[in-house]
Amino acid sequence: MTKENRKSSGASKGQMFLIGSIIVVVTLVLIRTSIGVGDVLEKKKFLESGLERLEFANIRGEVPKSAFNAINYTQNMTNVTNAFVSFAENRLSGRTIQLDGVTVTSAYGTLAADSDRPLNVTFYNFFDVDVSRVVLNLSTNYGAPVSFTDVPPGATRSTQFTLNLASSQNLSLWVFYETQSEKVTGNVTIPATIGKTKFVGYFDLRMVSERGTIRDRFVETVDVN
């Protein structure tokens, strides 16, 4: 890990440590001020649930920041973003909280009118089960969709689509993935802008604990230049 990566992940680690410390302090205060054990446990569960929602929001907010950090340190944006997700997943697992899901990141270099440019797309599975099937297709792709099968936990699969546009326009990246328990379809808008470089990430994040499940699917677009 480079000095820059350590710098970025250090801030995230500090935030997560702070949230964990808040849970411990609040629990101790409740034990001292409440009479009934059942009441203490119920309040503890309520507070922990609220703090987990806060932590989930924190992780969600750090995803685009990790991409911006990659720009600042001239690193691969897909690798840095997926590394942050993996760090958050490992950090939460120590508290018996499961973070899982997928990311689908896409990026293109500076677009020139009527010239071929690759759109690099990477699928990352951080569910704890295999993703049995993945299908990716771009609205300007007139060939067969790209598909992958049996993507294990922690694995990535990458492909390229070719962009050749006369003018700036919004493209659609169609995303489908299937596990043993669900099928998910997403439609991601790719702003293809002549003279620009962009990174677009689709994120499906799910946090699971004994207090419940929090899930969000969202898209983040980062302008590189």
Query: What global pTM score does this model have?
Result: 0.79
At 204 the three-state DSSP class reads strand
- DSSP string for residues in 81-135: HHHHHHHHHHHHHTTT-EEEEEEEEEEE--B-TTS-EEEEEEEEE-SSS-EEEEE
Which amino acid is present at 11?
A
Per-residue model confidence (pLDDT) at position 177: 98
Average pLDDT, the chain: 85
Per-residue model confidence (pLDDT) at position 65: 86
- CATH fold of 3-223: Immunoglobulin-like (2.60.40)
Domain ranges of the chain: 3-223
Burial class (CB in 10 A: 0-12, 13-18, 19+), 132: middle
3-state helix, strand, coil in the chain (%, to 5): 35, 40, 25
Instruction: Please write the tens of the pLDDT for every residue from 8-40.
Output: 455 555 666 666 666 666 666 655 555 555 665
Mean pLDDT, residues 104-131 taken together: 95
Q: In percent, how much of the chain has pLDDT > 90?
A: 59
Mean pLDDT, residues 178-186 taken together: 96
Contacts 24+ apart (CB under 8 A), 141-150: 145/174, 146/121, 148/123
Give yes or no for residue 1 having a pLDDT over 50.
no
Place of tokens 């599975």: 125
Residue 181 vs residues 10, 44, 184: alpha-carbon distances, Å: 35, 31, 10
Nearest to 192 by CA among 218, 146, 161: 161
Instruction: Please write the tens of the pLDDT for every residue from 195-210.
Output: 999 999 999 999 998 8
How far apart are the C-alpha atoms of 14 and 19, rounded to whole Å? 9
176 bridge partner residues: 135, 185
